[in-house]
Structure 1
Amino acid sequence: MRGGSTILAAVLVGLWALVYLVTQVLVDPALSVLPTLAAGTVLSVAAVLGYPSALRGPRGSRLAGPQPDPGVRPIAAAGRSMPLRSGLTPDAARRTAELIRPLLGGDAIAIADRERVLAFVGPGADHHLVGGALQTKVTARAIERGRTVVVRDRSGMGCPEADCPLQTAVIAPLAIGSRVVGALKVYRVQPEPPPRGLVEDMASMLSLHLELAEMDRERRLSAHARLDALRAQINPHFLFNILNTIASKARTDPEEARQLLLRLSDFFRYAVRQDGHFAEFAQEYFFVRTYLSLEQARYGDRLRVRYDIDPQVLTSRVPVLMIQPLVENAVKHGIADKVEGGTIHLKARVDPLTRTTSIRVSDDGVGIRPEVLARLTNGDGGVAPAGPVEHDGEPDQTRAGGGVGLRNISERLGSLFGERYDLSIQSTRSGTVVDLRVPLR
């Protein structure tokens, strides 16, 4: 390709030299600049379009050179949609065996865990029963040693069934990291065993999918644990204070007390019963408004709230119980400590270009102390997902919601989105701004 580019450049230089010679030297009088440039440009474009340059590649190059192995593309295509990506289950094993059987040159395909046959497709299925114990001794040996076993004759199979049609086999272990969890077995009814390299490559691909499935499972467990922690974090002092407010209202305004009890019931019903990790923003928005209405009943005119919500956000899906803790931090650590109170702003937008949902919670309260903010963030305003915030050698209980809660949120976002989210804090003595950006769902 580099040689083709050099030749093309030389051709263009020669063409421009020829244009100059004809228009400026041989012609009397010489042509003006415009006709000269036009002639040179036309010839250059014709040369580029007509020449098989490095940008286009030489004509017929798709037919030149070595052709790829015809088996590579089907195996790669199968790998992208491998059912074992959901885990080593009987259904996933059966669909995987049916998918890879034509690719491995075997008559029968089996997938097993350490104790039983999960799937068997092909001759021998009448006695290699799915769900039954492992029939061949070589399978147990491959799993135990973590190495591929090649069986080259009927006697080495170790199958107790005398009429078993399977004569040769390649059995490769399936592993998650260094832990062997099962085996891929490719059988033939002919004396020549299946290609060992092909079977081992497929076993490695299946092992990779099993590792990814294990990571997904651990990530889901972690996300569930974070969600349970957020539910448990609902401050008992909040409940105690709201109940005191309702008790006092019951004497002065029984109807308002009844309304507050209904809102409190809605608040805890949503927090406890919400299933899954995502909900429509409209649901989370209602939850936040319910919480703030309860706090406003307690603080009265000291707590003011402003909402700036783009209607497009209402149908987007956001992590459950993710916005309310941010608003609660603004109330507890921004407005509650300010004698004259303050205002909390909740703003939400959808950016269709970057496909993100952005949420901002801001207040004009007392702000976060610099030393606490330094422990919460990683230097650029992002929340550092680490252990609990400490103050003077002891856990900072007064800011547990702001410290542990924010870090809990950050770790939960990481388990849900990986690196595809942003949570940052900016705080001064005149207030705090928390920005959250998550992928649009």
Structure 2
Amino acid sequence: MTGAGIAVIAVLALLLFGTGFLLGRTARPVRTSDVGTPVEHATFETLHTASLAAPPLRAGLTEESARRSARGLRSLLGTDALCLTDRESVLVWDGEGDHHGTDVMHQVEGLLASGRDTAFHSDCGDLDCPLRWAVAVPLTVDHRVLGTLVAYAPRESAVLARAAGEVARWVCVQLELAELDRSRTQLIEAEIKALRAQISPHFIFNSLAAIASFVRTDPERARELLLEFADFTRYSFRRHGEFTTLADELHSIDQYLALVRARFGERLSVTLQVAPEVLPVSLPFLCLQPLVENAVKHGLEGAVTPSRPAGTARAGDGPIRVTISALDAGAEAEVVIEDDGTGMEPERLRQILRGEGGTSTGIGLLNVDERLRQVYGDDYGLVIETGVGAGMKITLRLPKYRAGVHGS
């Protein structure tokens, strides 16, 4: 719950207690062993009720979230009945007199159009029905009216009108957070799609060509490479999970490197150093793979010509070395990816990290850097050391535990 949401509920609790509006609540005797004043007890009870109603609303305004939160919202108001609607229909009715639900959408029609609170008499003619008056408040997000909260009572009450407004504003805060959650999820999905798009068609074509070159000369090697290719693409294009484990990410990288080595042979030298205790550490999906691809690309850029077959090196060319380490660093795992390739101008690197890359390399580095900062905070972005002809060293730190970050 946000600080603003807590403040609203605390004010509401004091308002309701001070005016004696907490209908239906039985005050228990205050014993000498009790801690706190009656006002503090009422505030705590209200905050606790609000905390139970909040999680369902973080899913947005739906029939299910309304059903799960309505009882808590009615308890906050201490009213006889409460109704939540969207713009089309009643989502839930909680409390007495549910026959009033058939008239709700007609009664809030003007509110949905104007976005202004409204009150109305709800006398149904049933002498046993306690509902005689209601106040309806809009539920808005970004100036859009998503629905209404309607509270019913036996008589007109200015206190209920004010309290319903405060509760509705608190509900709106939760719905805004739900919108932010959805936007964040959509952004992450878009970022992962962008990374998947960087799996170049040329890489796929060259991998299949390298596999084909072994079909006659070494069928067993061709079969193994084909399985590596299938597993690599399956992992890269999987459709579930925002996070993965370091073990799975490194396994995918190993498959990628096997395909690259099939093409470049001994020209590519890879050293892998991994501490077993960091393998279960969770991290954003497709976080390391673009960095390794970047190291390979810069190391081997221009190394193969169309006339030279896969698996052979150009005369005079030395091996390109790529080192990948994932080591235990106390509460964190430290991952370092280093190559001795072409490197780049530091100013060019700064442009890339400012979003001025314009190339697949730039998109990949920027994407990973932004996602790390988004998940772990600004202290956990990429640390990159490079220079023209000096290769590149990329370091990132991954907390071993972070709430909400779980590999799948």
**TM-score, normalization: structure 2?**
0.78
Matches within 5 A, 1:312-391: 312-336=277-301, 339-353=317-331, 356-377=332-353, 384=354, 386-387=355-356, 389-390=357-358
Q: Which runs of 5+ in 1 are unaligned?
A: 1-61, 378-383, 391-399
Deviation at 1:432, TM superposition (A): 0.6
Q: State how far apart, in whole Å, the 1-side matches of 2:108 and 2:42 are.
A: 26
Aligned positions, number: 351
Give CA deviations for 1:76-110 in whole Å, capped at 9, x if unaligned.
Answer: 33333412122111111112111122221210011
Q: Equivalents in 2 of 1:420, 1:211: separation in Å?
A: 27
Q: 1:147 is matched with which residue: 116, 127, 137?
A: 116
Shift of 1:120: 0.8
| Shift in alpha-carbon separation, 1:270–1:78, aligned structure 2, 3 A | same
Cα deviation digits, residues 7-52 of structure 1 (max 9, x gap)? xxxxxxxxxxxxxxxxxxxxxxxxxxxxxxxxxxxxxxxxxxxxxx
SS at structure 1 position matched to 2:214: helix
Contact 1:174-1:204 at 8 Å conserved across structures: yes
Equivalent residue number for residue 406 of structure 1: 365
* Counterpart for residue 381 of structure 2: 422
Unaligned runs of 5+ in 2: 1-33, 304-316
Structure 2 vs 1, CA of residues 243 and 420 (structure 1 numbering), >3 Å: closer, same or farther? same
**Structure 1 position 276 matched with structure 2 position 241:** yes
Kept after mapping to 2: 8 A contact 1:170/1:194 = no
Offset of 1:263 from its aligned partner?
1.2
Counterpart of 1:102? Answer: 75
Once residues 35 and 181 of structure 2 are traced to their aligned partners in structure 1, the CA distance between those partners, rounded to angstroms, is 42
Equivalence map 1:84-95=2 (5 Å): 84-95=57-68
Deviations 1:352-392 (A, max 9, x none): 53xx4432211122212334213123xxxxxx3x25x24xx
1:173-184 equivalence runs, <5 A: 173-184=138-149
- The 1-side partners of 2:42 and 2:78 are apart by 11
Q: Distance in 1 between matches of 2:131 and 2:379?
A: 50
What is the aligned counterpart of 2:272 among 303, 307, 311? 307
Do the aligned residues in 2 keep the contact of 1:168 with 1:193 (CA within 8 Å)? no
Aligned AA (1:368): M
Q: 2:62 is matched by which residue type in structure 1? A: T
Letter in 1 for 2:349: L
Shift of 1:196: 2.2
Taking the TM superposition and a 5 Å limit, the aligned residue runs for 1:96-245 are 96-128=69-101, 135=104, 137-151=106-120, 156-157=121-122, 162-163=125-126, 165-192=130-157, 195-245=160-210
Percent identity (aligned): 37
Distance 1:414 1:110, change over 3 A: farther
Please list every run of at least 4 consecutive aligned residues from structure 1 whose deviation after the TM superposition is greater than 6 angstroms: none
**Deviations 1:276-306 (CA, angstroms, capped at 9, x unpaired):** 1112221111101000111112111111111
Structure scoring higher RCO (CA < 8 A, sep ≥ 6) equals: 2
- The structure number with the bigger radius of gyration is 1
Q: Identify the residue that residue 256 of structure 1 maps to in structure 2.
A: 221
Q: Secondary structure at the match of 2:98?
A: coil
Separation in structure 2 between the aligned mates of residue 253 and residue 89 of structure 1, nearest angstrom: 59
Alignment partners' CA distance in 2, 1:150 and 1:420: 51
* 8 A Cα contact 1:84 1:210, kept in partner: yes
How far apart in 1 are the matches of 2:334 and 2:134?
56
Q: Quick one: distance in 2 between partners of 1:246 and 1:136? A: 65
1:369 aligned partner, one-letter code: E
The one-letter code matched in structure 2 to 1:436 is: L
